[in-house]
Amino acid sequence: MPARKIACLGGGSLYFARALPDLAAVRGIAGSEVTLYDIDLEKAQVMARHGARLAAASGTGLRVRACETLADAIDGADFAITSIGGSGASTGGVYGTGYHMQDIIIPTRYGIFQIVGDTGGPAGMMMGLRSIPIYVDICREMEKRCPDAVMLQHSNPMAPLCRAINKYTQVNVIGICHGVQIGVIHLARFLGVPAGELDVNWIGTNHYHWFTRIRHNGKDIYPEVMEKLAKAEPPEGGAMTQTLSQVYGYQIAYPDDNHIMEFYPFLAQVRQGEALPYGQEPWLGPEGYNTTIVRREPSAAEKAAQRQADLKEMEDRLAKIELPDAPSDALTGEGLGRMIESISLGRRDVYVVNIENKGCVPNLPSYANLEIEGVTDSTGVRGVYMGEAPLVLMGLLSKRIVWQELVADAAVKGDRNLALQALLLDEMAILPEKAEAMLDELLAASKPMLPRFFK
Domains of the chain: 1-455 (3.90.1820.10)
Of 201, 188, 144, 202, which is closest to residue 169 (Cα–Cα)? 144
Cα–Cα distance, 84 to 300 (Å, whole number): 26
pLDDT band at 287 (very low <50, low <70, confident <90, very high): low
* pLDDT grade for 307, boundaries at 50, 70 and 90: confident
The tens digit of pLDDT for each residue in 218-229 reads 999 999 999 999
Question: Dihedral angle at the C-alpha atoms of 434, 440, 445, 450, nearest 10 degrees?
Answer: 140
The per-residue pLDDT for 272 is 85
8: closest CA among 86, 89, 65?
Answer: 65
Cis peptide bond upstream of 157, omega within 30? yes
- d(CA 157, CA 131) in angstroms, rounded, equals 9
pLDDT at 273 (0 to 100)? 83
Sorted by sequence, the CB contacts under 8 Å of residue 348 that are 6+ apart come out as 342, 375, 376, 377
Helix axes 300-319, 41-58, angle to 10 degrees: 10
| DSSP 8-state secondary structure symbol assigned to residue 147 | T
**H/E stretch holding 347:** none
Report the DSSP beta bridge partners of residue 7. Answer: 35, 80
Sequence-ordered list of residues with C-beta below 8 angstroms from that of 443, at least 6 positions apart, any chain:
129, 416, 419, 450, 453, 454
Report the pLDDT averaged over residues 65-81.
98
Q: What is the pLDDT of residue 292?
A: 59
Cα R_g (the chain), whole angstroms: 22
Angle, CA of 38, 42 and 48, to the nearest 5°: 75
More confident residue, 307 or 31: 31
Q: Which residues pair with 252 in a beta bridge?
A: 210
CA distance readout (Å), 193 to 251, 396, 431? 17, 31, 48
The beta-strand segments (E) located in 88-171 are: 150-153
Residue 67 exposure: Cα atoms within 13 Å on the Cβ side: 21
* pLDDT score of 193 more than 80: yes
CA gap 410, 169 in Å, rounded? 16
Question: What is the structure's pLDDT at 92?
Answer: 61
* Torsion (CA) 269, 275, 279, 283 in degrees, nearest 10: 90
For residue 210, the model assigns a pLDDT of 98
Confidence at 54, pLDDT banded by 50, 70, 90: very high
Q: Which pTM does this prediction carry? A: 0.95
Buried b (16+ CB within 10 A) or exposed e, 45-81: bbbbebbbbbbeebebebebebbeebeebbbebbbbb
Mean pLDDT of the chain: 93
- Number of other residues whose CB lies within 10 A of the CB of residue 360: 21
Helix, strand and coil content of the chain, in percent to the nearest 5, comes to 50, 15, 35
